[in-house]
């Protein structure tokens, strides 16, 4: 048995703010081509409220994951928090969530960074820690308010959401990890320098040699490692910077779009960065059946991708109704205009 096979997902949960900004508002405000949202396959994006940030959203998602895990929070041996929009430049977010959930003090707690892949990086670390016996359970959180420079094309999709996974022993899991693989290079497609408020991006590099090369590379490594083929998977979930890239990379891998669409949340809420692929996994777990196999491939700029083969167990059905689903959050929404969005995301600096 390889290490991954000893570990599974004990609980999962997501959180999406109710506020939605129609992309037509961005078009109206900045004079973009009205067809731009259609080309991205995104109609609106979720926006964190004025009293929300990556920590509060991560806490909400973690509470939902604990409801499904049905374990004592004090048994969680680590809290790993992946984000690129943490509220504090110097102060861990993981400790705040761990304290609020009653997990401290006997636990590890760390914030991780790797653009949109930080939470996936945390997931791989949690698999190793649980498989080794170092800890019994790990809490992995991906949460972002996904900032974008006003008027930049990135503003169309940069959204807010969070997802949490609790990993633990395979025999207690709703789905276990069959194998994993990672593909990483130094590719400058997206970055934010110190003291810069908003990220920059090499737009021409976004697809190639960044997103497509790394996801395809990771998935092919996984398939070589396991002998699995595209037809062996019931679902395929990829990082979702927009609503078209996941479908394009699926075609490159020979995976039909019908297997991708159940985990696609970008058309509804935009790209929530570190929870992008994981919230797609959460949506699939909300409806998956025992015995089904899931391909998960997050991506992070800079650049790297992980690929996981995940097999659903008989425990899935008893956990699915214990917390709100991703679709529950998708339909719970209130539309706002660009002015309110600017207020909530503090895009305007007031001079006193």
Q: Which structure tokens are listed for 87?
A: 């509220």
Exactly one of 60, 116, 155, 201 is catalytic; name it. 116
Known catalytic residue: 214? no
Instruction: Centre a 10 Å sphere on the Cβ of residue 330 and count the other Cβ atoms it contains.
Output: 17
DSSP strand pairing (44-47 vs 161-169): unpaired
Q: Cβ distance 55 to 63 under 8 Å?
A: no
Radius of gyration of the chain (CA): 19
The DSSP bridge partners found for residue 190 are 201
Of 44, 52, 60, 84, which one is the catalytic site residue? 84
* Residue burial 194-221, b: 16+ Cβ < 10 Å; e: rest: eeeeebebeeebbbeebbbbbbbbbbeb
Cβ contacts of 171 within 8 Å, gap of 6 or more: none
239 catalytic residue (yes or no): yes
Closest CA to 253 of 211, 303, 221, 219: 219
Could you tell me if 110 and 295 are in contact, meaning their C-beta atoms sit under 8 angstroms apart?
Answer: no
Q: How many angstroms separate the CA atoms of 66 and 139, rounded?
A: 9
Query: What tokens appear for 70 in the block?
Result: 């049905």
**Cβ–Cβ under 8 Å, residues 73 and 101:** yes
- The sign of the torsion formed by the CA atoms of 328, 330, 335, 340 equals positive
Active site residues: 84, 116, 239
């Amino acid at each position: 048995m390889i290490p991954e096979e000893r570990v599974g997902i004990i609980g999962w949960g997501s959180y999406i703010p109710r506020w939605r900004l129609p992309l037509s508002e961005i078009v109206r405000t900045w004079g973009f081509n009205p067809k731009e949202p259609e080309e991205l396959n995104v109609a609106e994006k979720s926006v964190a409220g004025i009293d929300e940030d990556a920590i509060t959203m991560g806490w909400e998602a973690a509470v939902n994951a604990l409801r499904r895990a049905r374990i004592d929070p004090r048994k969680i041996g680590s809290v790993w928090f992946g984000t690129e929009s943490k509220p504090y430049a110097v102060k861990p977010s993981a400790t705040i969530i761990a304290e609020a959930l009653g997990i401290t003090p006997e636990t590890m707690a760390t914030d991780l960074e790797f653009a949109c892949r930080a939470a996936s990086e945390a997931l791989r670390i949690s698999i190793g820690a649980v498989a080794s016996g170092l800890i019994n359970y790990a809490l992995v959180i991906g949460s972002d308010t996904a900032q974008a420079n006003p008027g930049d094309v990135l503003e169309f999709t940069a959204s807010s959401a969070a997802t949490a996974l609790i990993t633990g022993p395979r025999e207690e899991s709703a789905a276990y990890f069959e194998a994993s693989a990672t593909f990483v290079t130094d590719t400058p497609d997206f970055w934010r320098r110190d003291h810069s408020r908003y990220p920059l991006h090499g737009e021409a590099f976004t697809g190639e040699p960044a997103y497509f090369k790394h996801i395809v590379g990771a998935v092919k490594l996984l398939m070589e490692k396991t002998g699995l083929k595209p037809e062996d998977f019931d679902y395929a979930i990829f990082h979702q910077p927009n609503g078209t890239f996941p479908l394009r990379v699926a075609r490159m891998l020979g995976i039909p779009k019908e297997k991708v669409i159940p985990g696609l949340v970008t058309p509804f809420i935009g790209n929530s960065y570190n929870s992008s692929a994981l919230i797609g996994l959460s949506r699939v777990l909300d409806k998956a059946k025992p015995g089904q196999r899931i391909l998960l491939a997050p991506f992070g700029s800079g650049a790297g991708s992980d690929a996981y083969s995940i097999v659903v167990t008989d425990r899935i059905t008893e956990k699915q109704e214990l917390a709100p689903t991703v679709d529950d959050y998708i339909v719970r929404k209130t539309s706002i205009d660009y002015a309110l969005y600017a207020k909530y995301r503090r895009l305007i600096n007031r001079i006193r």
